[in-house]
């Protein structure tokens, strides 16, 4: 059986993007031998520059990128893949960019499937959400985004499968942020200032590039909104009630540099919140989608240490899915919810799912042609 060559255009070569390249290069022989799939990166980009290499990048791609990357527009990428007659195209969005998602529909219209770690395409206004899916259907393309919620955990697929099987979901609740899980897990068990733990989370690559995105509650709110839309609820981002962890004098209106310099201002209010809890309780930042109340809420709560949420460790997510069939015994999904390795592995899993679907379609066409 001949190998299927998949051409990946990678947008974003930060923590997740660069780790994805490493994982693909490391596992390339495995994919060839076990799946007859060859994954290539003929184009990789950062926010302003693109490196073009028709035969796919090699191990020393960073140096080549620095030497040969050039400014680009999305039209340049579309024109290049057409000129080079590249097939089996997947655009991978490993950014947190607002602008790249505006290119999803043109990419789909020009032969690309989409795999995204970026959550924003699924949380824009519902008109865009629907138009994106209309184009996916029209051009018979896939859009996979399992890492939008829970990094490498199978949260979206589980909820989607339950919904599509006719199961009535009544509530989804839990810790959805790996970065805030790490911060409050350490804060509850160590006598370390809040700002120092936040800085450690940033250095470990657990937070968004701007940690205020995590602390504002916007990241958790997006995840809740994505799950609500997966089960057919037409909510908008503005429908999510968010209790921010930022301070009135230290928020999104400050520059990133001002926030970084003044992080110690967070120490006192969170120390007060910590010591004024009931005994044997810890702080947890959760999201809750209540279908009976038609409400979405992101908030800081105090949990008993011996509860499931209270016992969380590291950067784990803990998500509880309540349904009519399971009643008071929720389905629980728990595991690493942040970090470049698990997120990149989740993106890679989605890429391979698209590749298998492309392979299936090609085999079907061959079989039909022989009839």
Domain limits, the chain: 4-151+341-369, 155-337
Give me the residues paired with residue 52 across strands.
Answer: 43
320: CB partners within 8 A, 6+ apart: 171, 172, 173, 174, 308, 330, 331, 332
What pLDDT tens digit does each residue of the chain (371 aa) get? 578 999 999 999 998 999 999 999 999 999 999 999 999 999 999 999 999 998 888 888 999 999 999 999 999 999 999 999 999 999 999 998 889 999 999 999 999 999 999 999 999 999 999 999 999 999 999 999 999 998 889 999 999 999 999 999 999 999 999 999 999 999 999 999 999 999 999 998 888 888 998 999 999 999 999 999 999 999 999 999 999 999 988 877 778 888 888 999 999 999 999 999 999 999 999 999 999 999 999 999 999 999 999 999 999 999 999 999 987 799 999 998 778 899 999 999 999 999 999 998 888 877 777 77
| 171 classed as catalytic | no
In eight-state DSSP terms, residue 2 is: P
How many angstroms separate the most distant Cα atoms in the chain? 75
Which of 280, 282, 274, 163 is CA-nearest to residue 229?
163
CA distance 297 to 339: 25
pLDDT of residue 1: 59
CA distance 115 to 134: 17
Strand 112-116 versus strand 143-144 pairing type: parallel
CA distance 224 to 193: 29
Which of 102, 99, 119, 110 is CA-nearest to residue 46?
99
DSSP string, 98-112: SSGGGGHHHHHHTTE
Are 188 and 307 in contact by the 8 Å Cβ rule? The answer is no
Instruction: Tell me which CATH code domain 155-337 carries.
Output: 3.30.360.10
pLDDT of residue 82: 97
Topology of the domain comprising 4-151+341-369: Rossmann fold (3.40.50)
Q: Which of 141, 223, 263, 340 is the catalytic position? A: 223
| pTM for this model (two decimals) | 0.91
Evaluated on CA atoms 127, 169, 183, 207, the torsion sign reads negative
């Amino acid at each position: 059986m001949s190998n299927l060559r998949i051409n990946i255009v990678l947008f974003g070569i930060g923590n997740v993007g660069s780790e994805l390249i490493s994982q693909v290069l490391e596992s390339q022989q495995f994919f060839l031998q076990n799946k007859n799939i060859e994954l290539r990166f003929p184009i990789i980009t950062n926010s302003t520059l693109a490196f073009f290499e028709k035969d796919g990048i090699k191990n020393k791609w960073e140096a080549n990128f620095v030497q040969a990357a050039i400014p680009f527009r999305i039209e340049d990428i579309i024109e290049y893949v057409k000129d080079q007659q590249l097939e089996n195209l997947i655009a991978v969005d490993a950014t947190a960019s607002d602008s790249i998602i505006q290119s999803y529909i043109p990419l789909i219209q020009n032969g690309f499937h989409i795999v995204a770690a970026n959550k924003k395409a699924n949380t824009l206004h519902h008109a865009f959400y629907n138009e994106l899916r209309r184009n996916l259907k029209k051009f018979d393309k896939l859009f996979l985004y399992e890492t939008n919620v829970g990094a490498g955990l199978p949260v979206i697929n589980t909820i989607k499968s339950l919904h599509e099987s006719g199961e009535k979901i009544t509530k989804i609740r839990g810790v959805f942020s790996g970065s805030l899980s790490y911060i409050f897990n350490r804060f509850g068990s160590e006598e370390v200032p809040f700002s120092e733990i936040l800085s450690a989370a940033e250095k470990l690559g657990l937070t968004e590039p701007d940690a205020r995105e995590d602390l504002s509650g916007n990241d958790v709110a997006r995840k809740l909104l994505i799950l609500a839309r997966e089960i057919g609820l037409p909510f908008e981002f503005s429908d999510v009630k968010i209790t921010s962890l930022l301070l009135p004098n230290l928020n999104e209106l400050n520059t990133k540099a001002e926030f970084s310099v003044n992080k110690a201002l967070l120490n006192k209010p969170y120390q007060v919140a910590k010591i004024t809890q009931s005994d044997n309780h810890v702080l947890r930042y959760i999201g809750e989608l209540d279908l009976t109340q038609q409400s979405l809420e992101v908030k800081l709560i105090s949990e008993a240490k011996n509860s499931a949420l209270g016992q969380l460790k590291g950067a784990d997510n803990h998500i509880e899915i309540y349904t009519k069939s399971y009643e008071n015994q929720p389905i629980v999904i728990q595991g690493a919810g942040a970090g470049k390795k698990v997120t990149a592995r989740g993106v890679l899993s989605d890429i391979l799912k698209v590749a298998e679907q492309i392979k299936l379609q090609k085999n079907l066409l061959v079989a039909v042609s022989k009839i």
